[in-house]
């Protein structure tokens, strides 16, 4: 696989995301597959950020360290990131923002100085169009023709009026021409022979899209990075999709609103991150006791406390599995990429309603904010199962909300849709929902609820495998490590090491099939983004098993294939 990596670096507020978005959209239209991720600080203006794109001739699901093109909108990008450029890489920088030290660093071949804002002003356009100048400059290294970039600019700025569209096209063409004059012909990244239709989405797009496809009708949330994109997506499209979106005053209100909506009979969800999830735990225990389905997206970020609010980590796994106080059925899903995030949301709602319990979907900042190309979603794969629901004549006056059944699942009546009275309580209760104190009923009710947990475990999602079927090395992970593990496995197999990747889309309850995989005579390593080895601990508690080693990252940055390969026993040269 041949790839090309572009990094746009600058200060928050300089428009580097705008440059990246222009290039991202144009590159997809031009035919490339791509993966793009952001690295940003927790401030509105200032602080060094970057937006990085990886273009390829086939699907890619992770990022690379070494850069082919570095676009510097500020001095820090030069002083901090020039060392990551390949030997034949190109630097496009703005000389107007560089100090003497940085100017010395760019006095070498393949370094092009373009005063982005000045070029825009010289062409009679506002300085804000400097972003289009930078995009045009990069495009000159990607394509012989600027047409696709121009079309992308027209689409992106169509609502700003013809003058703005024309101005952006004009300055982009100037950036394109300057680089072509300086660099001449350079190798272009290869494209797929038959690209076909595709979408370009972040995890924070795919998760709410999956919820909409699954029939969500109510969402309540309080904004918290990095989950806020889910809330914004539903809010923007809620009226069109006939979904009520309520911005609550805090996370406690948000989860209780969602539980209330679900009790009334609609599919309901909320989204948050670590500290917000902590505030929701009492209400999640209520949902467990009252057997009310609800779906919670927890987009993990590094803790403890506020931690690194705009960085990535997988440190909430143990907490999500524990979920709240007391024993009650629950499930935790962990999508590893954009496509899986879409389809797993339907599964989350089905699990929640079939077993009348809370379900947590674990995301993280890397999955939430990273873009990738995926084929159009197949809506025929979305099956909506609402579980044991009764209404009308089926729910007579003798209806019991918590009726004892063989499988522990009581028929569910939406209040007002039958003669029966629906009573739910957080206190322990009898079949009719009214409070009880006697030991025998408590025991029966607990066994009724926990019988459902056994059913959830029996139907847990199977591990997703890649690589060799008879491996000598096995890399096991969950969530957004999926792409990094898959690429590391591909590289290892190409070098002669028989490697297999094991991705867990469901981390609680763990699938029985994982136990069979662990019996294989291979060296087994757990790959995860936290300090204490939370996945390793979870697997050990379920299967009484210990891995041969682990690879962990907890500096707030995402794993990639190189990070894994460099930390294998024997180092990067293994195989």
Q: Give the DSSP per-residue string, 190-247.
A: P--SS----EEEEHHHHHHHHHHHTT--EEEE---TTTHHHHHHHHHHHHHHT-EEEE
Same domain, 499 and 447: no
CA–CA gap between residue 320 and residue 538 (Å, rounded): 12
Number of residues assigned to the chain: 575
Contact present, 371 and 201 (Cβ < 8 Å): yes
Structure tokens at 204: 């924070």
List the CATH number of the domain containing 220: 3.40.50.970
Which residue stretches of the chain have pLDDT < 70?
571-575
Q: Are strands 46-56 and 33-39 parallel, antiparallel or unpaired?
A: antiparallel
Place of tokens 């820090």: 76
CATH of the domain at 106: 3.40.920.10
Cα separations in angstroms, 435 against 290, 471, 491: 12, 55, 60
User: In sequence order, what are the beta bridge partners of 113?
Assistant: 93
Alpha helices in 323-472 (DSSP H): 338-354, 365-369, 439-458
Residues 208 and 89 in one domain: no
The verdict on residue 348 lying in a domain is yes
Sort 212 into a burial class: Cβ within 10 Å, 0-12 / 13-18 / 19+: buried
Please check whether residues 152 and 221 belong to one and the same domain: no
Which residues are 221's β-sheet partners? 247
- Which of these three, 183, 214, 237, is where a domain ends? 183
CA distance 285 to 291: 9
Instruction: For the chain, give the longest Cα–Cα distance.
Output: 86
Q: Residue 420 falls within a domain, yes or no? A: yes
What are the helix and strand counts (H, E) for the chain?
A: 19, 22
Q: Rg (Cα) of the chain, in Å, rounded? A: 26
Query: Would 188 be classed as within a structural domain?
Result: no
Single pTM value for the model: 0.95
d(CA 139, CA 425): 61
State the Cα–Cα distance between residues 454 and 212, nearest whole angstrom.
Answer: 29
Pairwise CA distance, residues 422 & 433, whole Å: 8
Answer yes or no: is 15 within a domain. yes
Whether the CB-CB separation of 441 and 427 falls below 8 Å is answered with no
Residue 195 is assigned to a structural domain of this protein: no
Q: Are residues 116 and 60 in the same domain?
A: yes
Residue 283 CB burial class (10 angstroms; 0-12, 13-18, ≥19): buried
What CATH number has the domain bearing residue 535?
A: 3.40.50.920
191 within some domain = no
Strand-pair partners of 3: 56
Listed residues 440, 458, 476: the one ending a domain: 458
Q: Contact at 8 Å (CB) between 35 and 370?
A: yes
Reported as a single tens digit per residue, the pLDDT across 92-122 is 999 999 988 788 888 888 999 999 999 999 9
Q: How much is the pLDDT for 575?
A: 47
Q: How far apart are alpha carbons 167 and 163 in whole angstroms?
A: 6
Q: 478 and 374 share a domain?
A: no
Same domain, 270 and 228: yes
Cα separation of 480 and 337, whole Å?
Answer: 6
Pairing mode, if any, of strands 371-374 and 33-39?
A: antiparallel
Domain extent at residue 285: 200-381
Please tell me whether residues 262 and 330 are part of one structural domain.
yes
CA distances to 253, 324, 433, 438, 456 from 284, in Å = 12, 6, 18, 24, 18
Do both 400 and 365 map to the same domain?
A: no
Domain count, the chain: 4
**Strand duo 506-508 + 464-467: pairing:** unpaired
SS3 372: strand
- Is the peptide bond prior to 345 cis by the omega test (within 30 degrees of 0)? no
Give the torsion sign (CA, 460, 466, 471, 473). Answer: negative
Q: Are residues 61 and 162 in the same domain?
A: yes
C-alpha distances out from residue 202 to 135, 349, 386, Å = 21, 21, 28
d(CA 64, CA 35): 10
Distance separating alpha carbons of residues 527 and 562, to the nearest angstrom: 13
- The verdict on 72 and 150 lying in the same domain is yes
**484 and 452, same domain (yes or no):** no
Whole-number Å distance between alpha carbons of 139 and 522:
46
The verdict on residue 314 lying in a domain is: yes
Boundary of a domain, candidates 458, 480, 500? 458
Alpha-carbon torsion, ordered 193, 199, 203, 205, to 10 deg: 170
Pair 151, 167 in one domain: yes
**Phi/psi at 35 (5° precision):** -135, 135
The whole-number pLDDT of residue 571 equals 56
Report if residue 189 sits inside a domain: no
Q: Give the bridge partners for 371, in sequence order.
A: 36, 202
């Amino acid at each position: 696989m041949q790839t090309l990596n572009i990094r746009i670096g600058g200060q928050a507020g300089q428009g580097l995301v705008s440059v990246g978005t222009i290039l991202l959209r144009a590159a997809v239209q031009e035919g490339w597959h791509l993966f793009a991720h952001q690295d940003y600080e927790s401030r509105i203006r200032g602080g060094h950020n970057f937006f990085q794109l990886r273009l390829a001739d086939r699907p890619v699901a992770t990022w690379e360290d070494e850069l082919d093109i570095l676009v510097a909108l500020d001095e820090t990008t030069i002083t901090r990131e020039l060392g990551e450029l390949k030997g034949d890489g190109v630097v496009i920088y703005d000389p107007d923002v560089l100090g003497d030290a940085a100017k010395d660093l760019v006095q070498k071949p393949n370094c092009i100085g373009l005063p982005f804002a000045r070029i825009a002003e010289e062409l009679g356009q506002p300085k804000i169009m400097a972003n289009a100048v930078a995009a045009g400059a990069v495009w000159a290294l990607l394509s012989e023709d600027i047409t696709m970039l121009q079309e992308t600019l027209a689409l992106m700025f169509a609502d700003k009026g013809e003058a703005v569209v024309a101005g952006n096209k004009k300055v982009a063409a100037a950036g394109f021409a300057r680089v072509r004059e300086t660099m001449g012909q350079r190798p272009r990244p290869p494209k797929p022979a038959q690209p076909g239709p595709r979408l370009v989405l972040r995890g924070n797009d795919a998760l709410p899209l999956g919820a909409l496809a699954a029939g969500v009708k109510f969402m309540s949330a309080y904004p918290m990075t990095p989950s806020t994109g889910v809330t914004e997506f539903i809010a923007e499209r809620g009226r069109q999709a006939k979904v009520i979106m309520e911005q609550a005053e805090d996370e406690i209100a948000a989860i209780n609103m969602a539980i209330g909506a679900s009790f009334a009979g609609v599919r309901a969800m909320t989204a948050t991150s670590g500290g917000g999830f902590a505030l929701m735990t009492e209400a999640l225990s209520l949902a467990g006791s009252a057997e009310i389905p609800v779906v919670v997206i927890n987009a993990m970020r590094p803790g403890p406390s506020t931690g690194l609010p705009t960085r990535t980590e997988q440190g909430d796994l143990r907490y999500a599995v524990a979920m709240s106080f007391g024993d009650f059925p629950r499930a935790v899903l962990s999508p590893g990429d954009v496509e899986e995030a879409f389809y797993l949301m339907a599964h989350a709602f089905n699990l929640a309603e079939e077993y009348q319990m809370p379900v947590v979907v674990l995301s993280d900042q890397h999955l939430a904010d990273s873009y990738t190309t995926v084929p159009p979603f197949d809506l025929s794969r979305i099956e909506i199962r609402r579980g044991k629901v009764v209404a009308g004549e089926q729910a007579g006056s003798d209806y019991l909300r918590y009726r004892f059944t063989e499988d522990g699942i009581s028929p569910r009546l939406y209040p007002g849709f039958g003669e029966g009275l629906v009573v739910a309580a957080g206190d322990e209760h009898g079949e009719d929902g009214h409070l009880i104190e006697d030991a025998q009923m408590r025991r029966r009710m607990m066994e009724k609820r926990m019988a459902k947990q056994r059913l959830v475990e029996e139907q847990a999602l199977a591990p997703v495998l890649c690589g060799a079927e008879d491996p000598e090395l096995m890399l096991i992970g969950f969530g957004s490590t999926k792409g990094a593990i898959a690429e590391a496995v591909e590289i290892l197999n190409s070098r002669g090491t028989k490697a297999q990747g094991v991705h867990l889309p469901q981390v609680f309850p763990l699938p029985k099939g994982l136990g069979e995989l662990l019996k294989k005579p291979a060296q087994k390593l757990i790959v995860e983004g936290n300090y204490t080895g939370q996945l390793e601990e979870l697997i050990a508690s379920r299967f009484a098993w210990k891995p041969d080693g682990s690879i962990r990252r907890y500096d707030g940055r995402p794993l990639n294939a190189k990070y894994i390969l460099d930390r294998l026993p024997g180092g990067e040269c293994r195989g």
